[in-house]
Amino acid sequence: MRYEVDFLVIGSGIAGLSFALKVAPYGKVCILSKGEAAEGSTRYAQGGIAAVMYDSDSFDKHIHDTLVAGDGICDREVVEMTIREAPDRIRELVQYGVNFDKSRGSDRFDLHREGGHSEFRILHHKDNTGAEIERGLLEAVRSHPNIELKEHQFAIDIITQHHLGQRVTKHTPGIECYGVYALDCRTNEIDTYLAKVTLLATGGMGNVYTTTTTPIVSTGDGVAMVHRARGVLADLEFMQFHPTSLYNPAEKPAFLITEAMRGAGAILKDFKGHEFMHKYDARLSLAPRDIVARAIDNEMKIAGVDHLYLDARGIGKDELINGFPTIYAKCLELGINITKDMIPIRPAAHYQCGGIKVDRNGESSIKHLYAAGECACTGLHGGNRLASNSLLEAVVYAHNAAMSAINQISQSSQNTPNSQIPDWNAEGMVLNEEMVLITQTKRELQELMWNYVGIVRSDLRLQRAFDRLNLIFRETEDLYNRSVLTEELSELRNLIACAYLIIKMARARRENVGLHYSIDLVKDK
Ligand code: FAD
Ligand code: SIN
């Protein structure tokens, strides 16, 4: 089937949905989501969204905290713009129907604090903020007459001049996006979606690693699509590992223990129940994430154990049960009463700071192609994202991208060669009947990334990862070239592309900065 719309949105998390709501008054919008609409990192966000809402805090302080966490390589102008825009975007979320908690008996938002923040400035909805945001935005989208939301539609590749038979390299000037090819996961047909403007809002790539807090849909599809289309990507060496995922090895994704719990007073302890953060940073358990995750990794390696503890018992029973109901219930299910027992934790891949390079309007290096949310690299996070700045970045850039896209289609000088764009050609392909070829390769990929390209890296580990990835890449391309395309195979190719980009950028980064940390670079100093 062929479809034509004004605005095509790939992804139904906070970035895709808020962009769709903004552009909908100006044209026909279609949102494609590869699973159920609500599935994505957004709904799992616990801590909340950072913004300066009252005079007790200041933009300057939030800007300073963001720059410090980013380890000196944030884009300062982007940081200032994002943080100053934050209150307006928060008020819009509230208008869309999102509820944030208020302080008892008052009209003021109840604010939490997380690692790296010098003030209490995290708006939240108990400990399930993301689920509330996703609910509010989805309800608004579903009731908008100009928006069509299509679930189980897997975007495979963006359509460019390459599909018109032209040779496109990363040096080709004026690469343009005309839409995407997408697999209808229910009929197994590959459809052609043509659009004046396309937004990638495909989220993160946590599933490149064995242990991740991100859901199974986070397979770096947007980044891989742009890589294949020869667009510009940046900062992919900066994979953020969250210090405290619940240690429960069989569970995927790993369940998060929000940093807000440390903000409320919970303390990291080693395997014997002793505090250890004083050895690493004066901010103790509330140091920025890169520092805390490395400290935990180091303590685990020294003691030869696979988890440490978070001790929340000092917070008080009432606050634990009422303020963190999701975590309390989850732990209780596993026999851990967090008012009495320490919580077993370990780090997990959590957030990709880099991605599709975009300008301040969210526009990528490919014309008519925008990106927002976790798949985009705006310059806000630098070497390490400050907690709760991600949902904020997503709404700010969805807004900027929407304003620019509306402007772009109103000028409409775009001369899309729609009739010349061919449909997907699946001729001569056979059905891959051995799923093990995909599942085993995915496991190998995730393990090699976890062990060689994780929290602590070295030149030798990166070289080994690169060599092994090369073999995995060749085998998978061979499978891809002869098989009917499936969602699983497409995701595997995307994960391989993301792993390649992470390793390549990690090898090119010759200094320890933010989340990129190599033992060889320490020695060089
Ligand atoms: P997502 O919400 O991940 O949505 C991506 C969408 O794209 C999904 O709908 C997915 O199905 C779709 N998609 C992907 N590929 C394709 C494809 N090929 N075709 C079609 N559709 C596709 N950040 C904060 O600021 N505060 C927090 O408290 C916080 N807590 C977090 C807790 C957890 C457990 C996790 C995992 C992350 C947390 N983050 C937090 C990070 C934040 O939640 C994410 O960065 C943010 O939600 C990303 O939003 P998004 O719209 O970019 O992507
Ligand atoms: C958390 O609640 O600890 C996660 C916050 C974030 O990833 O920004």
Same domain for 285 and 411? no
Domain that holds residue 461: 435-484+486-508
Cα separation of 487 and 152, whole Å? 10
Give the pTM.
0.96
The amino acid at residue 80 is: E
Residue owning the nearest CA to atom 30 of ligand 1: 45
Domain boundary among 291, 325, 347: 347
- Judge if the beta carbon of residue 244 lies within 6 A of ligand 2: no
Contacts of 357 (CB under 8 A, 6+ apart): 231, 232, 233, 234, 364, 365, 377
Same domain for 220 and 109? yes
Token readout for 110 is: 């109840």
Same domain for 13 and 131? yes
Exposed e or buried b for every residue in 226-248, given b needs 16+ CB within 10 A?
A: bbbbbbebbbbbbbbbbbbbbbb
Same domain for 24 and 162? yes
- Nearest ligand for residue 226 CA: 1
User: What CATH number corresponds to the domain at position 84?
Assistant: 3.50.50.60
Residues pairing with 357 in the sheet: 377
Residue 426: predicted pLDDT: 77
Cα separation of 52 and 43, whole Å? 23
User: What CATH number corresponds to the domain at position 440?
Assistant: 1.20.58.100
Same domain for 207 and 105? yes
- Judge if the beta carbon of residue 152 lies within 6 A of ligand 1: no
Q: Does residue 430 lie within any of the structural domains?
A: no
Token readout for 195 is: 């659009």
Catalytically active residues, by annotation: 289
Cα separation of 511 and 103, whole Å? 44
Q: Does residue 426 lie within any of the structural domains?
A: no
Mutate to test the pocket of ligand 1, among 228, 391, 486 (most ligand atoms within 8 A of CB): 391
Same domain for 225 and 101? yes
Same domain for 286 and 380? no
Distance 49 CA to ligand 2 centre (A): 9
Q: Does residue 307 lie within any of the structural domains?
A: yes
Same domain for 27 and 78? yes
Domain boundary among 347, 372, 407: 347
Token readout for 455 is: 């929290």
Same domain for 270 and 399? no
User: What CATH number corresponds to the domain at position 332?
Assistant: 3.90.700.10
Residue 289: predicted pLDDT: 87
Residue 525: predicted pLDDT: 47
Domain boundary among 420, 445, 466: 420
Q: Does residue 513 lie within any of the structural domains?
A: no
Residue 76: what are its φ and ψ, rounded to 5°? -60, -40
- Count of alpha carbons within 13 angstroms of residue 458, beta-carbon side: 7
Cα separation of 187 and 190, whole Å? 9
Residue 429: predicted pLDDT: 73
How many structural domains does the chain have? 3
Cα separation of 160 and 176, whole Å? 5
E-assigned strand segments in 256-311:
267-269, 308-311
**DSSP annotation string for 134-203:** HHHHHHHHHT-TTEEEESSEEEEEEE-GGGGT----TT-TT-B--EEEEEETTT--EEEEEEEEEEE---
User: Which H or E run contains 50?
Assistant: strand 49-50
Distance 374 CA to ligand 1 centre (A): 6
Same domain for 272 and 374? no
**DSSP annotation string for 370-438:** EE-GGGEE-SSSTTSPPTT-HHHHHHHHHHHHHHHHHHHHHH------GGGPPPP--TT-B----THHH
Cα separation of 395 and 322, whole Å? 28
- Nearest ligand for residue 394 CA: 1
Instruction: Answer whether 211's CB lies under 8 Å from 21's CB.
Output: no
Maximum C-alpha span of the chain:
68
- Judge if the beta carbon of residue 35 lies within 6 A of ligand 1: yes
Same domain for 98 and 56? yes
Q: Does residue 514 lie within any of the structural domains?
A: no
| Residue whose C-alpha is closest to residue 112's, from 95, 91, 129, 97 | 129
Q: Does residue 311 lie within any of the structural domains?
A: yes
Q: Does residue 425 lie within any of the structural domains?
A: no
Q: Does residue 515 lie within any of the structural domains?
A: no
Contacts of 263 (CB under 8 A, 6+ apart): 112, 113, 114, 115, 117, 120, 122, 286
- Judge if the beta carbon of residue 309 lies within 6 A of ligand 1: no
Distance 489 CA to ligand 2 centre (A): 30
Consecutive sets of 10 residues in the chain, 525 residues long: mean pLDDT of each? 97 98 98 98 96 97 97 97 98 97 94 93 96 98 98 97 92 95 96 97 98 98 98 98 95 95 95 96 91 95 95 96 95 97 98 98 98 98 96 98 95 74 82 86 97 96 98 96 93 98 98 95 65
- Judge if the beta carbon of residue 245 lies within 6 A of ligand 1: no
- Judge if the beta carbon of residue 353 lies within 6 A of ligand 2: no
Distance 243 CA to ligand 2 centre (A): 10
Distance 317 CA to ligand 1 centre (A): 31
Q: How many CB atoms lie within 10 A of CB 503?
A: 24
- Judge if the beta carbon of residue 191 lies within 6 A of ligand 1: no
Same domain for 232 and 194? yes
Mutate to test the pocket of ligand 1, among 19, 32, 41, 153 (most ligand atoms within 8 A of CB): 41
